[in-house]
Amino acid sequence: MTRLFGTDGVRGLANDTLTAPLALKLGAAAAVVLTKDRGSHQRRPIALIGRDPRVSGEMLAAAMAAGMASRGVDVLRVGVIPTPGLAYLTDDYGADIGVMISASHNPMPDNGIKFFSAGGHKLPDDVEDEIEAALADLEEGGPTGTGIGRVIEEAPDAQGRYLAHLAEAVKTSLKGIKVVVDAANGAASEVAPKAYEAAGAEVISIFNKPDAFNINDNCGSTHMDQIQKAVVEHGADLGLAHDGDADRCLAVDAEGNIVDGDQIMAILAVGMKEKASLRNNTLVATVMSNLGLKIAMKREGIDIVETAVGDRYVLEELNAGRFSLGGEQSGHVVVPSYATTGDGTLSGLMLMARMAETGKSLSELASVMSVLPQVLINVPVSNKATIMGAPTVQEAIAEAEAELGDTGRVLLRPSGTEELFRVMVEAAEKEQARKVAGRLAAVVSAV
């Protein structure tokens, strides 16, 4: 049986695989599981529900609220808010459960449901499994009369609380920095420009007018060409691109060159080490991070701990080792002192603060690491589970690794959110990486 939860919650085509009835039942099941160990409390359990602006979010948030209220949970709907904002507010409001309705960087027709426990922490696999089991055994009905939860439709101070938190986290003045912000017509469309302006930056906003249908539509961190052009056209110092729920941030330097998550982590790690705030001089990164990051961090006297792909696994390692910085090449950067999950707006603030503190351009800061040529091909497949077990795939991997030797590497893995298999190849030369990746992708596609 296919697991309902993927690497980042439950995700699918809205009103097809991810329906309102499913959201209602998930809400009820999550309410049962996530409130069962509360002990004796004077008040009823509270859940916060936020969403990104895509059209199906309204429907799914309403169903989720109904499901939770049916199990005696009071629900506060905070409206459109970035995922890290919802995580922060879950803790700030003292809620027992946080729910974010978002498919992050996925196209508009998709949507997803992400759960947070008290304190704003993503759920471990075993708790998600418990919710799935409760979903299968969910009894009809629930409390009646005064036992039914209330649903409060808006929280007017939610955005203000999150903005105040960001301002407290990064106090460096950004005066004199001109930044283009691509909000992906998503959850950061209001918050990110406000946060950067409050810190003193001159902000030029693009793709910040969500209409429920244009989220991630040829914009944001998965379509960087738009912000590359805008930075050069406006003569900006940098550009910052978020995804639909703003837990990611990628950057562009003044010449229009992309500065990815690995480079952002390298910049922040060096800065934090200088301030003695990089705990154990260690950075947590995933297996997808570029070899260039490892080389640069070794030169700077910084250790790297590797995890599986997914910010939840980065978070687990950060918490287990009590480290202070981690993230992914895709732009998820986690700073546990200020956030319980990746926060794209916080990353943007910290990156610009490093520019302001050093007086260096983004390109100068990013030169701390050299990016080895990397090619990533997303291969549509019918069954992700069968790919790595195929003899043809194993043979192709062995041939590729023999060809690359110590000058590169190969990584194949299933997408956690889509029916895709990701083929990644790094090599000393771009053309070699492209050829090897193409051969591997063809083999995967034929399985």
Q: Tokens 């952002």 map to which residue? A: 264
104 annotated among ligand-binding-site residues: yes
3-class SS of residue 52: coil
Residues with Cβ within 8 Å of 342's Cβ and at least 6 positions away in sequence, in order, are 83, 84, 247, 248, 311, 327, 328, 331, 332, 333, 334
211 annotated among ligand-binding-site residues: no
Q: How far apart are the C-alpha atoms of 85 and 158, rounded to whole Å?
A: 9
237 annotated among ligand-binding-site residues: no
**How far, in Å, are 277, 421, 423 from residue 378 at the CA level?**
37, 6, 6
Q: How far apart are the C-alpha atoms of 417 and 114, rounded to whole Å?
A: 12
Which residues of 325-433 form beta strands (DSSP E)?
Answer: 326-327, 333-334, 374-380, 409-414, 420-426
Amino acid making up residue 81: I
Q: How far apart are the C-alpha atoms of 350 and 333, rounded to whole Å?
A: 10
Q: How far apart are the C-alpha atoms of 422 and 409, rounded to whole Å?
A: 14
102 is catalytic: no
**Which residue intervals of 306-343 are DSSP H helices?**
311-321
Q: How many other C-beta atoms can be found within 10 angstroms of the C-beta atom of residue 179? A: 28
Q: Are strands 409-414 and 420-426 parallel, antiparallel or unpaired?
A: antiparallel
Q: Which two tokens stand for residue 216?
A: 């991630």
125 annotated among ligand-binding-site residues: no
Q: Quick one: DSSP state of residue 388?
A: T
- Which residue in 56, 102, 104, 221 is the catalytic one? 104
- Residues 38 and 73 sit within 8 Å (Cβ to Cβ): no
Annotated binding-site residue numbers? 104, 243, 245, 247
Annotated binding-site residue numbers for Mg(2+)? 104, 243, 245, 247
Residues labelled as active-site residues: 104
